[in-house]
Amino acid sequence: MMKKYFLLAFSLLFGLSQSQIIRKYSNEFLNIGAGARGLAMGGAVISNQDDVYASMWNPAGLMAIERDWQGAAMHAEYFESIAKYDYLAYAKVLEEGVFGVSVVRLGVDNILNTTQMIDSEGNIDYDKITKFSQSDYAAILSYAFHPAGNPKLDVGVNAKIVYRNVGKFANGYGFGFDIGAIYKADNGWKFGGMLRDATTTVNFWSINQKELSTVVNGEEFNPAPKDKMELTMPKLNVGASKIFNINSSLYVLPEAGINVDFAKTAALVSTDFASLTPYAGAELGYQKMIFVRLGVNRFQSITDIEDLKRKVSFQPSAGIGIKYRGLTLDYAITNSGIGGSNFYSNFFSLKLDMGQFRND
């Protein structure tokens, strides 16, 4: 029954999106990912994220949860704590699959509002400067299952509800779907794919023209945008991974793949139809208790501001993790990878596996 509801809603949204104009970007906060493990590996977890965090990388990975339920939480701060990112998730094993729910928030607080600082005659009044917050929220319902009972193939679907708020100026509501799959070959290789915003994600905006605009000497500044709707272009992530056992205590799990944006971007390979960005990452595990991770992602061709020469930028990442019984604590560090930026961000995430906790 759960699968039927997901497929029905998926079909309705597909029909709606085909009659609209598609934009390149929106809801980018949902592409950050969640869980310090995946972030430390540069997002190289499309085929091997096997826990409650899978909803943000590939919902098919939820099928790896075998008993009871899992809960998770993550907090991160960007650009010297200017932006804050929070994530909560829960996944429960059902008779025919795994159900999950996730909540995401990315916010910037105490932004100066100077729209009313200048009156209609051009006089400046600093007392009219106020502050506001800009926040993006999302609730994600996930369901993973074996199609036709095939244990080698996992399929997962996300249904996303989005709310975005820009102080008193504007707010928007949106909805969309992701779909993912993981195939487990007999030789130990796993192949995963995640199509984000599969039918395009629709966002409807409401603009407060009175708060946004300013009239000075009869001329209007900050006019409200004419377009009140955004459609997020689909993105495809594909990857392959395999566990290699070094000895009875050590293993290494590498993954490599390609991120595909169906738009022209600053990627190394970019056309009007699609842009391709490679990624890679690896996890070294000791007795499945201590983990060391590395990754690299977001390769881009950019222009240096100083000498105006083209160069390649990328986003490196690293992290560690420790697991005791059903409790896992992970840490990751990474920078933006844009223009050689030195803004490094720290990520901490916590996971409770109640099935393993009770079993131990």
Rounded-to-integer distance, Cα 34 and Cα 51, Å: 12
Say what the pLDDT of residue 360 is: 59
Say what the pLDDT of residue 340 is: 44
- Segment 89-109 shows an average pLDDT of 93
Say what the pLDDT of residue 217 is: 47
Rounded-to-integer distance, Cα 154 and Cα 182, Å: 5
Q: Where are the domains of the chain?
A: 21-358
Output the pTM of the full model. Answer: 0.82
Digit-coded pLDDT (tens) for 8-26: 343 333 333 333 445 555 6
Say what the pLDDT of residue 317 is: 94
- Segment 237-259 shows an average pLDDT of 96
Q: Would you tell me which CATH number, out of the four given (3.40.50.12780, 2.60.40.10, 3.30.70.360, 2.40.160.60), belongs to the domain 21-358?
A: 2.40.160.60
Q: In the predicted model, is pLDDT for residue 3 greater than 70?
A: no
Of residues 104 and 264, the one with the higher pLDDT is 104
Say what the pLDDT of residue 304 is: 63
Digit-coded pLDDT (tens) for 177-201: 999 999 999 999 999 999 999 888 8
CA 261 to chain CA mean position, Å: 14
